[in-house]
Amino acid sequence: MTLPPDDLPSPTAAARRIGDWVAGLQRSDVPEPTAAVALDCIVDTLGVALAGTRETATRLAADEARESYAAGPSRLLTGGRLCAEGAAFANVAAAHALDFDDNSYAGFVHGSAVLVPTALAMVEAAGGTGGDLLTAVVAGAEAQYALAEAVGNGVYHDGWWTTALFGTVGAAAASAKALGLDGRTAADAISFALCGTGGLRACFGTGAKPLLAAQAAANGVRAARLAARGLTVPHGVVEDPRGFARLIAADRFDPTALDALGRRWRLLDPGIDTKLYPVCLSAHAAIDAVRDVMAEGELRPRDIRAIDCRVPPVVAANLTYHRPVTAGEARFSLPFAVACAMLHGTLALEHLDDAALADPVLRQAMACVSMTVDPGWNADPDRARTAPEGAEVSIETMKGELFVRFCASARGTVARPLSAAEHAAKFRTCAARAVGLDEAERFHRKLRHLEAESDLSRLFDFTHHAGRS
């Protein structure tokens, strides 16, 4: 980053540029392909959030929200209504509790888990429509991903958890859109959110991870509401020598990344990766490789002696639990993920309960799996670009045969997107855990026609309450 000399005028500050764009965005400005992706994000996120209502972290967040926040118009997925900040806090925890929500490589961010429940809570509080919700999600997503792209993925590799780091910016932008703030006031909200943002990857594998996402959402909502009340914040908090780029991003900041706001849509490029498996995305390529080799070679679990997965450093840095004992740890364990694929032919939510984790057959299968870190993985720019979380899997059989499969991108990623039927099946499976299959199917149809909804307060009119069997 090069700051302008003192005797030259500064360019418009990053926060003000983002704020002005957010304030000016209208639904008619959003191209239909971008709107379609945003709708997919909304549907997928609400599905996994409903599935996440039973998780311990979700219950903690909901109990804390009910005790700490005032009643209000925004729906809690676990039942009841609170003010928008309280609902965003509780519902974001549910959306990320299972680590089944989507990702984007613009910042290595779980964008939708923070944005969708936040935008829903704020638009609902404002009396907005389904179209307003979609517009707020697009505003928050593009703002968050543009800033993340401007500082690069180095912040993630440095140890920051970018979902919490940038999520509060996306939440502030989505909230500003829902409130109808002007550009200056939206920039105040984004600046305040940036001044207090943070999050450490050290929390991976624990309930702290979804609660950090929830905290980011609440902070973004609060920043927008305080700005609406008159809080003013310097807009140069990204570029300031004491600011975001220097302190958090090691002076990495390319302001030209913001030039493309409204012209290149990050929801399309680099796009959104929708998870097929409820574990860290870093494990997905290895899962697919094992599934494919076993299917093509007609291998059975008892045929396999050993599996080695050669992976890039970022995968090893994320998947740190070699012998997990909790579901949270299992979501960040390559041996667990690969063993499930070997034994069950897939990895699903039912494989992440205590009984499944304690199964001695699974524990034995995990012992057959090893992970080899390739420090030179990113030396090839093409491989670094096309396979950032890829895997080369070698399977040795009891007969001494060796099968090798390279998987650059997992099913569900932008390179290998899920079909509409697969999206729908995932939603039904997730939502049915909370409200039953019939309600899940009805809710899916309703969400697919979200922009026809004029009253979001009735969006979650379930016969059965979410979070209960």
Say if 88 falls within a structural domain.
yes
Contacts of 148 (CB under 8 A, 6+ apart): 106, 107, 108, 109, 162, 166
Please determine, for residue 176, whether its predicted confidence score (pLDDT) is greater than 70. yes
- H/E stretch holding 222 reads helix 208-229
Q: What percent of the chain has pLDDT over 70?
A: 96
**pLDDT value of residue 358:** 93
Domain match, 176 and 296 both: no
Closest CA to 446 of 82, 130, 91, 225: 130
Q: State the CATH number of the domain containing residue 233.
A: 1.10.4100.10
Q: State the CATH number of the domain containing residue 342.
A: 3.30.1330.120
Tokens standing for residue 84? 């928008």
Mean pLDDT of 341-368: 95
300-314 pLDDT per residue, tens: 999 999 999 999 999
Domain match, 150 and 64 both: yes
- H/E stretch holding 395 reads strand 391-397
Mean pLDDT of 132-137: 98
Say if 450 falls within a structural domain.
no
**pLDDT value of residue 465:** 54
Say if 211 falls within a structural domain.
yes
Domain match, 119 and 50 both: yes
Residue 267 binned pLDDT confidence (cut-offs 50, 70, 90): very high
Point out the domain boundary residue: 359, 389, 407: 407
Please determine, for residue 9, whether its predicted confidence score (pLDDT) is greater than 90. no
Phi, psi of 99 (to 5 degrees): 55, 40
Domain match, 349 and 398 both: yes
Mean pLDDT of 351-366: 94
Mean pLDDT of 447-454: 97
HSE at residue 51, side-chain half, CA atoms within 13 A, is: 26
**3 state DSSP class of 467:** coil
Mean pLDDT of 366-388: 95
Say if 286 falls within a structural domain.
yes
Around Cβ 405, how many Cβ atoms within 10 Å? 20
Domain match, 251 and 290 both: no
Residue 11 binned pLDDT confidence (cut-offs 50, 70, 90): low
Contacts of 448 (CB under 8 A, 6+ apart): 39, 43
Domain match, 209 and 356 both: no
Say if 6 falls within a structural domain.
no
Please determine, for residue 199, whether its predicted confidence score (pLDDT) is greater than 60. yes
Point out the domain boundary residue: 407, 431, 458: 407
Q: Distance (Å, rounded) from C-alpha 84 to C-alpha 73?
A: 7
Say if 414 falls within a structural domain.
no
Please determine, for residue 468, whether its predicted confidence score (pLDDT) is greater than 50. no
Residue 2 binned pLDDT confidence (cut-offs 50, 70, 90): very low
**pLDDT value of residue 1:** 45
Please determine, for residue 450, whether its predicted confidence score (pLDDT) is greater than 70. yes
Give the DSSP per-residue string, 172-196.
HHHHHHHHT--HHHHHHHHHHHHHT
Domain match, 149 and 208 both: yes
Domain match, 116 and 250 both: yes
pTM of this prediction?
0.95
Please determine, for residue 153, whether its predicted confidence score (pLDDT) is greater than 80. yes
Domain match, 110 and 214 both: yes
Domain match, 162 and 245 both: yes
Bridge pairing between strands 369-373 and 304-311? parallel
Residue 130 binned pLDDT confidence (cut-offs 50, 70, 90): very high
Domain of 150? Answer: 14-260
**pLDDT value of residue 463:** 60
Please determine, for residue 6, whether its predicted confidence score (pLDDT) is greater than 70. no
Around Cβ 239, how many Cβ atoms within 10 Å? 20
71-106 pLDDT per residue, tens: 999 999 999 999 999 999 999 999 999 999 999 999
Mean pLDDT of 187-192: 98
- Cα–Cα distances (Å) from 154 to 44, 93, 151, in that order, read 28, 26, 8
Domain match, 86 and 184 both: yes
**pLDDT value of residue 461:** 84
Say if 373 falls within a structural domain.
yes
**pLDDT value of residue 462:** 78
Q: Classify residue 69 by its DSSP letter.
A: S
Q: Which of 16-20, 197-201, 457-461 has the lowest mean pLDDT?
A: 457-461
Please determine, for residue 424, whether its predicted confidence score (pLDDT) is greater than 70. yes
Domain match, 92 and 210 both: yes
Mean pLDDT of 54-73: 97
Say if 431 falls within a structural domain.
no
Phi, psi of 397 (to 5 degrees): -95, 170
Point out the domain boundary residue: 407, 423, 452: 407
Please determine, for residue 198, whether its predicted confidence score (pLDDT) is greater than 90. yes
Please determine, for residue 464, whether its predicted confidence score (pLDDT) is greater than 60. no
Query: Total structural domains in the chain?
Result: 2
